[in-house]
A and B are shown apart, each in its own frame.
Chain A
Amino acid sequence: MLGILGKILISASFATSLLALVFYFISANRDQEKTLRIGNWLFAAKTTFLVVASGILIYLIFQHQFQYYYVFNYTSLDLTPRYLFSAFYGGQEGSFMLWILFSAFLGFGLMKWTRPPYKAPVLFFLTMTQVFLLSMLLGWDIFGLKLGASPFRTIAEEMPNAPFLQTNPDFVPNDGSGLNDLLKSPWMMIHPPVLFIGFAMMTIPYCFAMAALWKQKYNEWISPALPWTLSANVALLTAIFLGGYWAYVTLSFGGYWAWDPVENASLVPWLIGTAGIHTMIIQRKSSVAQKSSILFAILAYVFVVYETFLTRSGILGSSSVHSFVDLGLYNQLLAFMLVVTLVGLGLFFWRYKELPSPEKEASILSREFMTVSGAMLLLILGLVIILGTSSPILGQLFVDKPTPPEISFYNDWSMPIAMIMAIFTVLGQYLFWKKYDAESLASELINPLLVTSTVTILAIIWGDVRNLYYMVYLFCGFFAIVGNGWILIRLIRQKPKLIGGALTHVGFGMLLVGILASSAYNSPLVDQQTAQYNEAVKQGEVTDEQGFKVTQLEEMLMLNLNETILVDGRYMVTYEGYELDNTVRRGQQTYKIKFEPVDGGKPFYMRPEVYPMLTSSTAENIQWSVDPDVRTGLLSDIYLYVGGSSYVQEQNDRAAEMNSTMQNVADQDTTAEKESVQSFNFTPGESKDVGNYTIRFVNYMRTDSTELPPNTSIGVRAEVELIHPASDRIVTLNPLFAVYSENGQSYIFSPPSFAREFGLEFQFTQINPQENSIELTVTGLEEEYEPEWVLIVADEKPFISVVWAGTFMLMIGFSISIFRHWGRERKKNSE
């Protein structure tokens, strides 16, 4: 019932949007106030319908109405309220809804603050994008032509041919299939909403640019559009940062950035948006670059839609970690993309001749030239990334069935572009605030260059940088930090409100340095032996059984319980056991790994986690997921996750056993029980848990010479305690070990001692004087003794903190600029 209401509301929302579109069009065309007001009312009605529909969806999720496919597919009974709420946008349909919601709320801001003549056309284009997005949610079926996928469709509608529905059409599952375990993270609460705020805000510069082209007023739109563009930029940057941080600290992607198409989907619009900000600022200052401002504003949104198309149409299916499942929206998404692009670029080229051009060309050493060049570099970088991301389509120019490009493609192109950008940021910032000719600029730059060179040389020596290319790159990065920092300090003294730009450029330089340090100098933490092995592999000296060169480095570390090993020559690492905890996630193990710095620093613990993925595990097949632990430091992070453990193996074996017993109950246990014989090493005082028992070697004991064979050279007894905790019994045994000689030959005499009540037999079989340990051989134990171990993968990642610091500087810098430009805008509004 509620589902039908939801569908009706979405359809009503779609219909009112279409109507609003018509009224906005008339208003924009004739500059009518009355039709604009009707449009606004329709817009408000549309938003209300959508809000109520979203409320219903959230209600259905919280009421566990599993007859609805969306509820069934993304939630389950055991989800806590916060994850129930985030399931609202956990799937493709809900995420579209959230996107439109944000876009609609922004619409009211635009109604309030936008001045004529832009108001009506801006709202027209905003509504146009919403019409397309809403159409993805319709779930209409017009003569077999499917339009959209409704979040309110029932299981029966989703899977009409499912066998359990054939037998019982009113079937309602008892429980849902649940939210993907990887998404059950506090980051899921915040990352997607911020991202969609960013996407929704990126629509606004597009709307303003289109309005400017429509109304043929090419300069005035900059002032209102600039703060919106800056805000979109901050929102996207925050989303990118949150996503990267999430990937890094909890998802064990191994780093904060992987050039994954979905990551690129938010980076490219950000780059183009940033390019737009550059040209808008320079257009406002010097009345140049009208064409590029409009073009970038259009392109930023075109790329939002293009990347949406790539990630949601199923095209990327095979190349992305987290692209969405195809919902059959391919054609609609394609239409959305084509309309946004063709209308945008079409109108741009229609008006192209009319657009103002600069009267004379700007000289190279001018802020106009530098700023526009910076924007162009951002555009080029964006286009390179787009090219890589588009490999499933554009790769077909080269080969059939193309794979995604190698990561090196992105790195090889983005590094030099970023280096040129770094130099340009400094030149641009100097020229932005003052006019220079070549000579005066050079003399001004002497001091920053000296500082940069010193810092670079120190960094090269300290970080042992051997790669010439990296040296140049570091120089560029430091130049951006120092040069822009110079300006920043000057501005703080003179005009502290205008430091936004300088601050972002310092942040950019820090990003460059941090990214290189953390990715190129990422080193696995392994023990001495593995390090030697890896060194040999690098030299090409290791061959495998078939005589082929081994190229894969070993990056895992095996730790036995309470056995300390030296790692990387710097840490004594001990595995101190695990704890089972069911409060956060059922069956979660937290491993306790102690790091003691050799140089006498403070010891610390790393606590990586492993948990079974409940949504995809069964009793016979457990799927485990890992949650790494990151120790954040100023200079470097230690990043560590569990690759395996004795506990996990035991559980897997048990599950596998359960699987096989379930499959062949008939031929169980046909293997004859064989008497098991096991040997253990003990040092005095040590105890071991074996199956149901604890065995403790208390100490050595003297022995009577009468019990020994003749000619004995060594004769000693061990005091051994056998503890059976279940029955609370302790049996003390004193097995004998003796070495005697007969006919010039030495023999070992170790008669068995019996623990009759448990059917066990103990022999004292060896003494290892170097380790001060003895060997006991036990016969009759049912369970094999397995030492507890954990396999970890640990990396040291230097200067990740600098990456985050650079990102924060960018955010703060952009935010300062928002306040500045918004403040001016508000004054204009109140006039």
Chain B
Amino acid sequence: MKPKLIIGIVAIVGFTSLLMYNFGESISTYTTFEQAGERANAHIPGIWDEEKGAEFSLETKRFTFHMIDEAGESRKVVYPKPKPNNFEDADQLVVIGEMRGDTFYASEMLMKCPSKYNDTDPGQFTEASVSQNL
């Protein structure tokens, strides 16, 4: 075989494995509060724990609420931005951030909102930053 061909193949294989490795590292899996543990960038889907309310504090400029994850566990979530749009309507939330003790610090939040008339509709996710519920 020609040496150039071998170099080429090695380069391609090397590049691809590095790319795939990095790709694998940069994605994570949707998880629960319990399993989020020490993970820095945990994605946790769940629903708003309505009974425990939700509040934006002007002093700390944080939005605080409780969320029930897929394992049925309810934890406090702190989000450092104003209350996102559609928050009350969302039938599913995804909070992205980390656990600290019993509190989850979200840096991002996604909301899945039902379409108005059709409950079977899977609806759409909207990113919290798109529009703010003030």
A and B from one complex: yes
Residues in A neighbouring B123, C-beta threshold 8 A: 325
Residues in B neighbouring A652, C-beta threshold 8 A: 134
Cβ of B74 within 8 Å of any chain A Cβ, yes or no, is no
Cβ of A636 within 8 Å of any chain B Cβ, yes or no, is no
The answer to whether B117 touches A409 (Cβ under 8 A) is: no
A317 to B112, CA, bound (A): 9
Residues in A neighbouring B116, C-beta threshold 8 A: 177
The answer to whether B132 touches A643 (Cβ under 8 A) is: yes
The answer to whether B23 touches A409 (Cβ under 8 A) is: yes
Cβ of B7 within 8 Å of any chain A Cβ, yes or no, is no
A404 to B94, CA, bound (A): 12
Partner of B82, one of A162, A318, A613, A643: A643
A218 to B59, CA, bound (A): 69
The answer to whether A314 touches B24 (Cβ under 8 A) is: no
CB distance from A725 to the nearest CB of B (A): 28
Cβ of B88 within 8 Å of any chain A Cβ, yes or no, is yes
Residues in A neighbouring B122, C-beta threshold 8 A: 314, 317, 325-326
Given contacts A402-B29, A413-B22, contact A624 B133 (CB under 8 A): yes
Residues in B neighbouring A321, C-beta threshold 8 A: 125-127, 130
The answer to whether A613 touches B85 (Cβ under 8 A) is: yes
CB distance from A323 to the nearest CB of B (A): 7
Cβ of A391 within 8 Å of any chain B Cβ, yes or no, is yes
Residues in A neighbouring B41, C-beta threshold 8 A: 406
The answer to whether A546 touches B112 (Cβ under 8 A) is: no
Residues in A neighbouring B28, C-beta threshold 8 A: 399, 402-403
The answer to whether B27 touches A404 (Cβ under 8 A) is: yes
A397 to B20, CA, bound (A): 10
Cβ of B17 within 8 Å of any chain A Cβ, yes or no, is no
Q: Which residues 60-92 of B sit at the A interface, judged by CB distance below 8 A? A: 61, 80-82, 85-86, 88-89
The answer to whether A325 touches B115 (Cβ under 8 A) is: yes
The answer to whether B22 touches A554 (Cβ under 8 A) is: no
Residues in B neighbouring A365, C-beta threshold 8 A: none
CB distance from B19 to the nearest CB of A (A): 7
A321 to B124, CA, bound (A): 8
The answer to whether A402 touches B82 (Cβ under 8 A) is: no
The answer to whether A413 touches B118 (Cβ under 8 A) is: no
Cβ of A236 within 8 Å of any chain B Cβ, yes or no, is no
Of chain B, the residue at the smallest CB distance from A412 is B22
Cβ of B51 within 8 Å of any chain A Cβ, yes or no, is no
The answer to whether A623 touches B86 (Cβ under 8 A) is: yes
Given contacts A399-B29, A403-B30, contact A649 B134 (CB under 8 A): yes
Partner of A398, one of B15, B24, B80: B24
Residues in A neighbouring B117, C-beta threshold 8 A: 159, 162, 177
Interface magnitude class on chain B: 35 or more
Residues in A neighbouring B127, C-beta threshold 8 A: 253, 321
The answer to whether B129 touches A254 (Cβ under 8 A) is: yes
The answer to whether A648 touches B125 (Cβ under 8 A) is: no
B19-45 to A contact mask, C-beta < 8 Å, 1/0: 110111011111000000000010100
The answer to whether A556 touches B86 (Cβ under 8 A) is: no
Cβ of A350 within 8 Å of any chain B Cβ, yes or no, is no
The answer to whether B85 touches A546 (Cβ under 8 A) is: no
Of the listed residues B103, B117, B121, B132, the one surrounded by the most CB atoms of chain A closer than 10 A to its CB is B132
A142 to B103, CA, bound (A): 53
CB distance from A798 to the nearest CB of B (A): 21
The answer to whether A403 touches B29 (Cβ under 8 A) is: yes
Given contacts A251-B130, A624-B133, A626-B131, contact A546 B103 (CB under 8 A): yes
Cβ of B1 within 8 Å of any chain A Cβ, yes or no, is no
Cβ of A437 within 8 Å of any chain B Cβ, yes or no, is no
The answer to whether B118 touches A159 (Cβ under 8 A) is: yes
Residues in A neighbouring B112, C-beta threshold 8 A: 317-318
Cβ of A500 within 8 Å of any chain B Cβ, yes or no, is no
Of chain A, the residue at the smallest CB distance from B84 is A623
CB distance from A604 to the nearest CB of B (A): 24
The answer to whether B101 touches A548 (Cβ under 8 A) is: yes
Residues in B neighbouring A554, C-beta threshold 8 A: 61, 80
Of chain A, the residue at the smallest CB distance from B30 is A401
Given contacts A317-B122, A643-B81, A643-B134, contact A397 B24 (CB under 8 A): yes
Cβ of A558 within 8 Å of any chain B Cβ, yes or no, is yes
CB distance from A555 to the nearest CB of B (A): 8
Residues in B neighbouring A480, C-beta threshold 8 A: none
Cβ of A610 within 8 Å of any chain B Cβ, yes or no, is yes
Cβ of A714 within 8 Å of any chain B Cβ, yes or no, is no
Partner of A409, one of B22, B107, B133, B134: B22
CB distance from B58 to the nearest CB of A (A): 7
Of the listed residues B23, B61, B82, B122, the one surrounded by the most CB atoms of chain A closer than 10 A to its CB is B23
The answer to whether B131 touches A252 (Cβ under 8 A) is: yes
The answer to whether B81 touches A398 (Cβ under 8 A) is: no
Cβ of A645 within 8 Å of any chain B Cβ, yes or no, is yes
Residues in B neighbouring A613, C-beta threshold 8 A: 85, 131
A388 to B22, CA, bound (A): 10
Q: Which residues 236-261 of A sit at the B interface, judged by CB distance below 8 A? A: 251-254
A305-322 to B contact mask, C-beta < 8 Å, 1/0: 000000000100111111
Q: Which residues 525-567 of A sit at the B interface, judged by CB distance below 8 A? A: 544, 546, 548, 551-552, 554, 556, 558
Residues in A neighbouring B20, C-beta threshold 8 A: 387, 397
A323 to B112, CA, bound (A): 12
A402 to B127, CA, bound (A): 18
Given contacts A401-B30, A413-B22, A554-B61, contact A610 B134 (CB under 8 A): yes
A182 to B134, CA, bound (A): 16
Among all A-B residue pairs, the 9 with the closest Cβ atoms: A409-B26, A399-B29, A625-B131, A398-B24, A405-B26, A548-B100, A648-B134, A644-B134, A401-B30
Q: Which residues of B contact A (CB under 8 A)?
A: 15, 19-20, 22-24, 26-30, 41, 43, 56, 58, 61, 80-82, 85-86, 88-89, 94, 100-101, 103, 105, 107, 110, 112, 115-118, 121-127, 129-134
A-B contact pairs, 10 of them (CB 8 A): A159-B118, A252-B130, A254-B129, A321-B127, A397-B24, A399-B28, A399-B29, A403-B27, A641-B132, A791-B134
Taking A317-B124, A398-B27 as known contacts, 4 extra A-B pairs with beta carbons closer than 8 A to each other, sorted by chain A number, are A318-B125, A625-B131, A626-B134, A641-B132
